[in-house]
Amino acid sequence: MSTIDVSLEVAVLSMRRIGKSFLGVRVLSDVDLDAQAGEVHAVVGENGAGKSTLMKILAGVHAPDSGTISIAGSPVTFRHPLDAQRAGVAIIYQELTLLPERSVAENVFLGREPLRRGLVDRAAMERETSRLLLELGESSFGARDLVGRLSVAQQQVVEIVKALSVDARIIVMDEPTASLAEHEVELLYDLVRRLRERGVAILYISHRMREIFDLSQQVTVLKDGVRVATRATAEVTQGELVSLMVGRELSHYYPPRAGPEETGEVLLSIRGCGNAKLRDIDLELRAGEITGVAGLQGSGRTELAKAVFGAEPFTHGEMTPLRPRSVREAIAAGIGLVTEDRKAEGLALRQSVGDNALLVARAVRRGAAARVRELLDRVRLAPPDPDREVRYLSGGNQQKVVLAKWMTVSPKVLIFDEPTRGVDVGAKAAIHELVRELAREGMAVLMISSELPELIGMSDRILVLREGRLVGELPAGSSEEAIMHLAAAEEAA
Amino acid sequence: MKYAIFVVLALLLAAIAVANPFILEPAGFLAFVKRAAPLVILAAGQYFVIVSGEFDLSVGSLVTVEVVVAARLIDGNEAATWPVLALLIALGLLVGLVNGVVTALLRVPSFITTLGMMLILSGAVFLWTGGAPRGALSQSFRVFGRDTLWAVLITLAVGAAAVLLTRATYGRTLIATGDNERAAALSGVRVARARILAFVISGLAAAIAGIMLGGFAGVSAQVGQGLEFSAITAVVLGGVALGGGRGSVVAAMGGALTLEAMFTLLNLYGISGALEYTVQGVIIVAAVAAGAVQLPRLFITPRKGDAHAS
C-alpha cells in the first residue's frame, strides 16, 4: 500500500451542486462539499437536513439527480457502492457491519480474500491486518481475535482497517461516538488523529458540539437540504453553529396549547428512576398536559419511553401509581405507548384494521368490539373500513390505527415516540389535532420527538434528555436554539 | 381467493367421480369424509401452531403412541374404554404442553423441539412394544373411527370449535402474534402463553385423530407414520403461510380434504401409494415458493421516512 502525499492544497474530494429528490420531495439542492487530505471536515445539521442522503450519494448508494463529484481532481460517476469503494471512499456506518463469529482478518478481507493455490491465504490476510493495526497504534487486540469479543470502539478500528486495506482516501464517519462509552471516545480521537497523519480526508458527521470542535478543521452546516455555511471550525462559536443549524419558521399550524386551567392532577410521577440506559429520572405527568422530550440520537429518548411503559423497565426508583415491570402491568396501570417504529413494533401488518385496533383490548380482555367503527371515525381514518389489511394503508392512516388501538382501553397516560415519523403533512396535522384532543379530555401525554418544530409546536413544556439524564426543562414555545444548546452542550461548554 | 382451495377440491372430486361416480352419492361422499377425518383434525390442530409462526412435527408419532397405548391398556376390555379415552386426551394435552413450554419459554426453535419429541415418542413406542404392539381395542373404542356417522360428527364438531376459536379473542391475538410478535407483546399480548396453548391444541387434535385412526386403521406401530408431514402439507395447501400470521383454519381443513382427494385419485388410477410422499413434497415446496415470490414486494415499498433518516 502506498502512502499518500500529505498536501493540504489539493481537494481530495469535491462535490459540486449536488441535488436529489425522493418521490418528488427535494432532499438536497445545490450542495457543495470539499474535503482535504489530512483534514477532518464536520458535517452537521438537524434530522432531515440531508446529511445521510449526501453521504449515501458519496458512497454510491444513491445517484444524484444533478451535480458532479470529483476525486483528486478527476470527475467520477458512481453507479454502485463498489464504484465508490474502488475510487477510495469508505463509510463507517453507525451500525457496524462486521461478522461477529469471524476473526478480525477475515472481516477485513471479506469478499476479497487473498488466494494461494486456489485456497484462502490466511497467513497473508493476518500479516496485512496486523501491519495495519500496528500502523494505527492498535495493540489491544490482534488479527486473529473474534470480532464478536471486541468492544464497539475496537470494532470501529476494524472497520477503519478494512477501509485502509482498500486504500481508502476519504473516510466518512457517521455519528461514530453514538454507541461508544465515555472512555472509548478518547480512543476514537486518537484514531482520527492517526488517520489524519496518514493523509486521509475524513468527513465527520455528528450532533455533538464537543467532538466537532475537538476534531474538525472545517465544518459544513446543512439545513433542509441546503448548505447554509462552510467555515473554519476555529473561527466559529458553538452558539453560531447552533443558530445556523436551526432557526426556521414553524411550517404548519399547531393546535392551541393547554391553558393553565386545563392542566389537572398528577397522573404519573417518577422519582429517581433509572436502569442501564437512564439515570436519575424525575418526571411528573399531569392530566391535560403534553410534556415534550427532546434529545439527540443516543440520548435515551426511546429508552425513556420503553422504561415508563415497562418494556425495558426501570430497575430502581419510585413511580406512582406503580413502577411497571412488564408491559401488561403498565397497561393495567393505564399507560400506553405509541412506538417509534410503527411497522416493527406497532402493527401486525397483515391483519385487518379492526384486528389491530382491538389488539390491546383483547390482550387485556377489556371489550371494545362494538366501538371499533366509532373509534375509527374518531381518529378520522379514511376510509374507516375495519376489514382492510393495515399494510395497504398510508403511514398516516396506520398511525391512526395505532392510536385507535390505545383508545380502546382509555389509558390515563399515553406516550408517543416520534408520533409523526413517516407520515405525510396532511395526516401530520390530523394526528397533532388528535393528540391535543386526547390531552384536552384529561389524558397526560408524553411526547418524544426528534423534530424540533413539532416538539415546540405541540408541547406545553419541554424536557431535554442528554446521556440518559433529564438535564433541563424549557417552557412552551422555547426556541430550537435553546433546546439544541441543552441537548448538545457538553459539561465543559 | 381465501377459499380457492375448495375450487381445487371440487375439481379433484369431479375427476374422482369420472372413474368412480359413487363418491357423488351421499354414502360415498361421507365415506370419503370419514377417511379424511383424522387428517382434517390434525390439520386444524396444526393450523394453530403454524399461524403462530411455529411447526409441530410430533403429531405423527403422537398418533402412533395414542393407538398403541390404547390397545395395550384396553386389551379388549369394554369397561376400560372411557377411562382410557380420558387418559389419551390427557396424554395429547401433556405432549402439547411440553412442546409449547420448551419452544415458547426455553426458546428452542419449534422445528427442533417437535423433531426431538417425534424421536422420543417413536423410540418410546418401540421400547414399550418391542416392535409389535400388543393388546386390542374395544368395540366401543373403535366405533369413533369406524362408524361413518361418528366420524363425520366428530369432524364437524372439531371444525366448528376451531372456527369459533380463531374468531375468539384467543385466535385473534394468536394470529397477530404470528404476524408480528413484537407488536403483539408491546400491545400486552401474553405471547408465550398464546403459543403454548397452540401446541396444546395441536396435541389435543393428535389425540382425537389417534383415537379415530385406531378404530379406522387398526393397531400398528406405523399408524401415525408421516402424518405430521401430511398435516403440514394440508395446512400449506390451504394457503396458510409458514412463518405465521396469515390464513384461515377452514382453508387448512379444506387443504386436508384436498390432499385426501389427491391420494384417492392416485389410488384410483393405480399409481403407487409410495408416490404420496412425492406429491406432498412437491406441494410443500411449490406452495412456499409461490408465497415467497410475493415477499420481496414488502421490501421494495418506498418508505417516505428514508430520505430524512439521519
Q: Which one of B188, B304, B310 has the shortest CB-CB distance to A364?
A: B188
Q: Do the domain assignments include residue B273?
A: yes
Q: Do the domain assignments include residue B310?
A: no
CA atoms of A15 and A31, how far apart (whole Å) = 8
Is the previous residue joined to A383 through a cis bond, with omega within 30 degrees of 0?
Answer: yes
Check: CB of residue A457 under 8 Å from CB of residue A450. no
Residues of B in contact with A356 (CB under 8 A): 176
Q: What is the pLDDT of residues A70-106, one digit of tens each?
A: 998 889 999 888 889 889 999 888 777 889 899 999 9
Instruction: Return the residue of A nearest to B168 by Cα.
Output: A362
Q: Which amino acid, residue A86?
A: R
Test mutation, B172, B300, B308, chain A, max A CBs within 10 A: B308
**3-class secondary-structure state, position A271:** strand
Q: Do the domain assignments include residue B141?
A: yes
- Cβ distance of A360 and B188 shorter than 8 Å: yes
Q: Which one of A22, A51, A395 has the shortest CB-CB distance to B310?
A: A51
What pLDDT is attached to residue B45? 97
CA atoms of A6 and A193, how far apart (whole Å) = 14
Q: What is the pLDDT of residues A19-39, one digit of tens each?
A: 998 777 778 999 999 999 999
B189 touches chain A (CB under 8 A): yes
Residues of A in contact with B180 (CB under 8 A): 344-345, 347-349
Q: Which one of A52, A347, A363 has the shortest CB-CB distance to B180?
A: A347
**The C-alpha cell that represents B178 in the structure block:** 404470528
- Cβ distance of A52 and B309 shorter than 8 Å: yes
A3 confidence band (pLDDT: 50, 70, 90):
very low
- Please give the C-alpha separations between residue A414 and each of A308, A410, A474, B129, in angstroms, as whole numbers: 10, 9, 21, 61
What mean pLDDT comes out for the span B273-288? 83
On average, the pLDDT of chain B sits at 89
B306 touches chain A (CB under 8 A): yes
Q: What DSSP element (H or E) covers A21?
A: strand A11-22
Please report, rounded to a whole number, the percentage of residues in chain A having pLDDT higher than 70: 93
On average, the pLDDT of chain A sits at 87
* Residue A400: half-sphere exposure toward Cβ, Cα within 13 Å: 32
Q: Which one of A47, A49, A355 has the shortest CB-CB distance to B176?
A: A355
What mean pLDDT comes out for the span A232-248? 80
Q: What is the pLDDT of residues B253-264, one digit of tens each?
A: 999 999 999 999
CB atoms within 10 A of CB A8: 11
pTM of the model: 0.77
Q: Which one of B176, B182, B306 has the shortest CB-CB distance to A359?
A: B176
Mode of pairing for the β-strands spanning A66-71 and A11-22: antiparallel
- DSSP H helices in A136-237: 152-165, 182-197, 209-215
Please report, rounded to a whole number, the percentage of residues in chain B having pLDDT higher than 90: 67
**Residue among A178, A159, A59, A141 at smallest CA distance from A99:** A159
Residues of B in contact with A351 (CB under 8 A): 175-176, 179, 245
The phi-psi region of residue A96 (left if phi > 0; otherwise alpha if psi is between -120 and 50; otherwise beta) is beta
Q: Do the domain assignments include residue B307?
A: no
CA atoms of A123 and B204, how far apart (whole Å) = 58
Instruction: Return the residue of A nearest to B190 by Cα.
Output: A363
Instruction: Return the residue of B nearest to A354 by Cα.
Output: B172
CA-based nearest distance A481→chain B, Å: 19
**For residue B297, pLDDT beyond 70:** no
Q: Do the domain assignments include residue B99?
A: yes
A4 confidence band (pLDDT: 50, 70, 90):
very low
CA atoms of A169 and A201, how far apart (whole Å) = 6
**For residue B301, pLDDT beyond 70:** no
Q: Do the domain assignments include residue B83?
A: yes
Phi, psi (degrees; rounded to nearest 5) at A142: -120, 175
CA atoms of A393 and A383, how far apart (whole Å) = 10
Q: Which amino acid, residue A207?
A: H
Q: What is the pLDDT of residues B36-94, one digit of tens each?
A: 999 999 999 999 999 999 999 999 999 999 999 999 999 888 899 999 999 999 999 99
As for the ipTM of the complex, it is 0.84
Check: CB of residue A459 under 8 Å from CB of residue A292. yes
Q: Which one of A22, A45, A362 has the shortest CB-CB distance to B172?
A: A362
Q: What is the pLDDT of residues A326-381, one digit of tens each?
A: 999 999 999 999 998 888 899 999 999 999 999 999 998 876 666 788 889 888 88
Residues of B in contact with A424 (CB under 8 A): 304
Test mutation, A221, A223, A362, chain B, max B CBs within 10 A: A362
- Cβ distance of B183 and A27 shorter than 8 Å: no
Domain encompassing residue B74: 4-15+31-298
CA-based nearest distance A336→chain B, Å: 8
CA atoms of A162 and A109, how far apart (whole Å) = 7
Check: CB of residue A128 under 8 Å from CB of residue A140. no
Q: Which one of B169, B184, B304 has the shortest CB-CB distance to A365?
A: B169
Is the previous residue joined to A321 through a cis bond, with omega within 30 degrees of 0?
Answer: yes
Q: What is the pLDDT of residues A413-455, one digit of tens each?
A: 999 999 988 777 667 888 999 999 999 999 999 999 988 888 9
Test mutation, A26, A27, A359, A424, chain B, max B CBs within 10 A: A359
CB atoms within 10 A of CB A182: 8
Check: CB of residue A481 under 8 Å from CB of residue A246. yes
B230 confidence band (pLDDT: 50, 70, 90):
very high
CA atoms of A222 and A284, how far apart (whole Å) = 36
A384 confidence band (pLDDT: 50, 70, 90):
confident
Q: What is the pLDDT of residues A274-309, one digit of tens each?
A: 999 999 999 999 999 999 999 887 788 999 999 999
- Cβ distance of B184 and A47 shorter than 8 Å: no
B107 touches chain A (CB under 8 A): no
**Residue among A364, A391, A362, A390 at smallest CA distance from A376:** A390
Of A252-266, A382-396, B66-80, B104-118, where does mean pLDDT reach its minimum? Answer: A252-266
Question: How large is the angle between the packed helices A238-245 and A480-488, nearest 10 degrees?
Answer: 130
Mode of pairing for the β-strands spanning A335-338 and A266-274: unpaired
DSSP string, B207-231: HHHHHHHHHHH-S-TTTTTTHHHHH
Q: Which residues pair with A40 in a beta bridge?
A: A202
Range among A38-47, A144-153, A410-419, A428-437 with highest mean pLDDT value: A410-419
Q: What is the pLDDT of residues B169-219, one digit of tens each?
A: 999 999 999 999 999 999 999 999 999 999 999 999 999 999 999 988 888
CA atoms of A223 and B308, how far apart (whole Å) = 12
Q: Do the domain assignments include residue B208?
A: yes
Q: Do the domain assignments include residue B305?
A: no
Instruction: Return the residue of B nearest to A93 by Cα.
Output: B310
Q: What angle do CA A329, A273, A319 make, to 5 degrees?
A: 45
- Cβ distance of B245 and A351 shorter than 8 Å: yes
Q: Which one of A346, A395, A405 has the shortest CB-CB distance to B304?
A: A395
CA-based nearest distance B246→chain A, Å: 7
**Residue among A245, A298, A328, A287 at smallest CA distance from A48:** A245
Q: How many domains does chain B have?
A: 1
What pLDDT is attached to residue B308? 35
B300 touches chain A (CB under 8 A): no
Q: Which one of B175, B183, B305 has the shortest CB-CB distance to A346?
A: B183
CA atoms of B99 and A99, how far apart (whole Å) = 33
Check: CB of residue A441 under 8 Å from CB of residue A413. no
Phi, psi (degrees; rounded to nearest 5) at A120: -65, 130
Taking a contact as any Cβ pair under 8 Å apart, which residues of chain B between 227 and 286 contact chain A? Answer: 245-246
